[in-house]
A and B are shown apart, each in its own frame.
Chain A
Amino acid sequence: GAGVSQTPSNKVTEKGKYVELRCDPISGHTALYWYRQSLGQGPEFLIYFQGTGAADDSGLPNDRFFAVRPEGSVSTLKIQRTERGDSAMYLCASSPTGGGTDTQYFGPGTRLTVL
């Protein structure tokens, strides 16, 4: 079956611009996570959705970052006034229920470069 998909695969933007990153989870998965991964580091949690609601957004670094999941499936991560420090791989993962032993399935990521 189809896995998690993310678009675009690469995004190059200029400092100060607005970007949107899209995640399409595995069908039927209620839990959706966004992570950011810098070179040589592990994925760093940003936000977790359970259905349509953001159950935990404690990882968002500041108010320039926002995410939505209006219909409980596709999610969009939005970054305003991008900064060079936002350059990273943005990973999305989904899991069936969000429970503690659930397996998370990752998408291929969006590599964001802010010039």
Chain B
Amino acid sequence: RKEVEQDPGPFNVPEGATVAFNCTYSNSASQSFFWYRQDCRKEPKLLMSVYSSGNEDGRFTAQLNRASQYISLLIRDSKLSDSATYLCVARPPGGSYIPTFGRGTSLIVHP
């Protein structure tokens, strides 16, 4: 079983739609979580960190559910420019804090 699992999609949604992705992690000791965005043939870029209390940044909302070991990303009012792959990341609590990336979820927003 992979440490961080994501549905690869693609999620195909119209502009203006609300879309949500989930990501599960297997290491219950993981402490830090992130969502990265990766455009085709480009490097990953941090979208947002995920806090225990949940956090929101404009149209993007991230939630953490420790009991069920998953994090979620909600995108409201989708834009064409949101089309990308969204990578979920979990980091352990100590040692080298080496992050584990999921395989990513592909989002395609169409007119």
Contact = CB atoms under 8 A, between A and B. Distances in A.
A48 B42 contact: no
A45 B46 contact: no
B78 to A, nearest CB: 22
Chain A binding surface, main DSSP class: loop
Interface residues of B, number: 26
B104 A107 contact: no
Contact of A108 (B31, B42, B93, B94): B42
A44 interface: yes
Given A40-B8, A42-B102, A42-B104, A98 B43 contact: no
B49 A101 contact: yes
Given A98-B96, A100-B31, A43 B101 contact: yes
A38 to B, nearest CB: 10
Contact of B32 (A33, A59, A100, A107): A100
Contacts of A48: 96, 98
A19 B39 CA distance: 27
A55 interface: yes
Contacts of B104: 41-42
Q: Which of A40, A42, A59, A98 has the most CB of B within 10 A?
A: A42
Contacts of B8: 40
B46 A107 contact: no
Given A40-B103, A41-B103, A42-B87, A104 B97 contact: no
B100 interface: yes
